[in-house]
């Protein structure tokens, strides 16, 4: 495991990369070396209790099977709700109904949950009566660079929410934090102290994931958090390459290629690689094997994938194709394959002779590589997020910034650097092509989250603006993009995910957000599934069996309809391979 760790260790990275497994295994390893350790999780999808097969909560408890290890699971959602109540209750006496509704939505997004979680764990980080009891304090999920940058912005403490100066509304959550300013300053200073703190950036060995980690590394370094280490989790091990399994060999080759081409900024960081494991890291024995890099128990014959006939993408296309037109939105977290799924769906509809517009924010070179030669009936619309963001920022600064003082401008500019800004800007660009879905199919890749859609709706950023512009003319039938998204006859939303615990939990949260916005997901797509793939490799076969409960969870309780796409030995580029994703037997 990791060596020479300071007192405070933060594991950060996208959902599903193995942060919790690495944090838990590191804690066990440190305890075995004689240290006393506190393990803190602020992950909304935390499963530390499940990993240690015990019940945890929002208070420090001893892990009885590991003497010397205590743990706490901070509930970010409960913290966020208490936080909202603390801010919104005083507004009830003075604010209008529209203002309260807008403020409520501003506080409903990921930024509020993240700030509330930061509020919780900084109380732990800066409590000497607690942390002085331990040699190490390990945090599963560190704050993002965006959150820390907000906390360091001097103007953010002046009641931003109540003044209405923001637009993308990630600064709004800071309105209730003025009393904690000194404690937050101490926490940020401690995070920046390389002698006391290390941030471990966790990623899978995938090109896109490594590029994302490189951006995170640069963002954290820019605000003073430079004591970083890279952890590559789930590397296909060379020792497992016995036999002639094409899928296993392809996965190994792709991992090695991604690692060889990783961005320079993270190539220079200290690095630890952790091999792909055949077993789920649940229970103390599995954690100890992982921490010591010991082999898992040999898989038995019963560990090979069950012969399950999961529905493929063709079942979804068959339901959509007779409609002749409509908007198909592909949504999900980064790294789950939204672009590939959208391109495959669009290619199949075009093959059927339907006119299709595929609109995407994917880099043009990547999409050209994915599609290969031009396809009859298929047109691609490329939206450049950088261009759209600058256009949107200019519009907001002209509309809201011209009457602000220097402090207000600084706050507005910071607000416009939030993740919400990109989603809103890109959605406005998408909106310009959505109207075409009344004539033919429009397949939309990289769609906004449910929170952003609600934010657009409640603040009037687009939907209500269009309604206002229609005036009082009752003869005008105004159909806004938001109304079209909410119409199940006009729009089908596909949630793309992976057959793993965290990605499915995140997809479930996305579905809840969409429902709050009045949008009912039409189908789920489980991508890159080993359970649906053709492999006899012992390690992959055991992992395939672990996918079945996750797929069953989607099929039995989360999705109205679903499809499972097998893990591919070769990247699905070009029309033939894209079409093979839809027609698995073809």
Catalytic center residues: 16, 18-21, 43, 502
Burial (Cβ within 10 Å: 0-12, 13-18, ≥19) of residue 300: exposed
Q: How far apart are CA 298 and CA 538, in angstroms?
A: 8
Q: Contact 356/350 with Cβ under 8 angstroms?
A: yes
CA-to-CA distance for 408 and 160, rounded, in angstroms? Answer: 9
Bridge partners (DSSP) of residue 381 are 359
Q: Are 56 and 71 in contact (CB under 8 A)?
A: yes
**C-alpha dihedral sign at 74, 203, 498, 278:** negative
Q: How many residues does the chain have?
A: 586
| Cβ 165 vs Cβ 400: under 8 Å | yes
CA distances 341 to 79, 320, 356, 368, 449, Å, are: 36, 15, 15, 15, 18
137, β-bridge pairs? 8, 38
Joined tokens for residue 422: 């990109």
Are 352 and 375 contacting, i.e. CB atoms less than 8 angstroms apart?
Answer: no
Q: What are phi and psi of 501, to 5 degrees?
A: -55, -55
Q: Which residue carries 């007779």 as its tokens?
A: 322
- Angstrom distances, CA of residue 255 to CA of 236, 334, 346, 579: 7, 18, 28, 25
Check: CB of residue 562 under 8 Å from CB of residue 525.
yes
Going from the C-alpha of 160 to that of each of 90, 408, 409, the distances in angstroms are: 15, 9, 11
Looking at the DSSP bridge assignments, the partners of residue 233 are 274
Residue 123 backbone zone (phi > 0: left; psi -120 to 50: alpha; other: beta) = alpha
* φ/ψ (deg, to 5) at 244: -130, 50
Q: Do the Cβ atoms of 262 and 210 come closer than 8 Å?
A: yes
Q: Beta strands 136-140 and 69-73: pairing type?
A: unpaired
CA distance 115 to 184: 11
């Amino acid at each position: 495991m990791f060596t020479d760790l300071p007192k405070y260790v933060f594991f950060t990275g996208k959902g599903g990369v193995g942060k919790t497994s690495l944090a838990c295994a590191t804690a066990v390893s440190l305890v075995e070396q004689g240290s006393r350790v506190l393990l803190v999780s602020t992950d909304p999808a935390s499963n530390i209790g499940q990993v240690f097969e015990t019940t945890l909560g929002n208070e420090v408890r001893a892990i009885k099977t590991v003497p010397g290890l205590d743990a706490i699971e901070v509930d970010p959602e409960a913290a966020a709700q208490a936080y909202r109540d603390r801010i919104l209750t005083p507004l009830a006496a003075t604010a209008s109904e529209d203002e309260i509704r807008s403020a409520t939505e501003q506080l409903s997004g990921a930024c509020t949950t993240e700030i509330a979680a930061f509020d919780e764990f900084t109380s732990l980080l800066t409590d000497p009566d607690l942390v002085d009891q331990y040699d190490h304090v390990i945090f599963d999920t560190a704050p993002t660079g965006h959150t820390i940058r907000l906390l360091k912005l001097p103007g953010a403490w002046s009641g931003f929410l109540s003044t209405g100066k923001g637009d993308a509304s990630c600064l709004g959550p800071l309105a209730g934090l003025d009393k904690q300013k000194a404690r937050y300053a101490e926490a940020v200073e401690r995070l920046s102290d390389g002698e006391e703190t290390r941030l471990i950036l966790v990623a899978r060995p995938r090109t896109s994931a490594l590029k994302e980690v490189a951006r995170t590394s640069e963002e954290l370094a820019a605000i003073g958090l430079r004591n970083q280490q890279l952890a590559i989790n789930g590397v296909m091990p060379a020792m497992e390459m016995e036999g002639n399994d094409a899928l296993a060999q392809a996965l190994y080759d792709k991992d090695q290629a991604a690692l060889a081409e990783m961005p320079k900024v993270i190539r220079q960081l200290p690095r630890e690689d952790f091999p792909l494991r055949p077993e789920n890291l649940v229970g103390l024995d599995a954690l100890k094997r992982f921490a010591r890099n010991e082999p898992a128990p040999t898989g038995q014959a019963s560990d090979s994938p069950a012969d399950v006939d999961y529905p493929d993408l063709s079942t979804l296309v068959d339901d959509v194709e007779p409609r002749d037109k409509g908007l198909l939105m592909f949504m999900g977290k980064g790294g789950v394959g939204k672009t590939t799924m959208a391109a495959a769906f669009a290619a199949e509809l075009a093959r059927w002779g339907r006119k299709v517009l595929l609109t995407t924010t994917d880099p043009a070179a990547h999409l050209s590589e994915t599609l290969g030669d031009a396809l009859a009936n298929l047109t691609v619309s490329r939206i450049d997020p950088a261009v759209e963001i600058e256009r949107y920022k200019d519009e907001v600064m002209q509309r809201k910034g011209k009457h602000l003082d220097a402090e207000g401008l600084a706050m507005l500019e910071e607000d416009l650097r939030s993740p919400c800004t990109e989603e809103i800007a890109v959605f406005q660009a998408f909106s310009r092509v959505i109207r075409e879905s009344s004539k033919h199919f429009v397949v939309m890749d990289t769609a906004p989250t449910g929170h952003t859609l609600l934010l657009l709706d409640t603040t009037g950023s687009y939907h209500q603006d269009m309604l206002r512009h229609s005036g009082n003319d009752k003869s005008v039938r105004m159909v806004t993009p938001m109304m079209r998204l909410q119409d199940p006859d006009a729009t089908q939303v596909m949630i793309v995910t992976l057959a793993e615990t965290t990605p499915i939990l995140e997809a479930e949260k996305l579905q809840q957000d969409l429902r709050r916005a009045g949008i009912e997901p039409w189908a789920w797509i489980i991508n890159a599934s080993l359970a649906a793939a053709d492999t006899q490799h012992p390690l992959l076969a055991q992992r395939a069996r672990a996918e079945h409960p996750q797929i069953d969870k989607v099929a039995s309780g989360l999705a109205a309809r679903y499809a499972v796409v097998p893990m591919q030995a070769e990247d699905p580029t070009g029309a033939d391979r894209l079409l093979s994703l839809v027609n698995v037997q073809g």
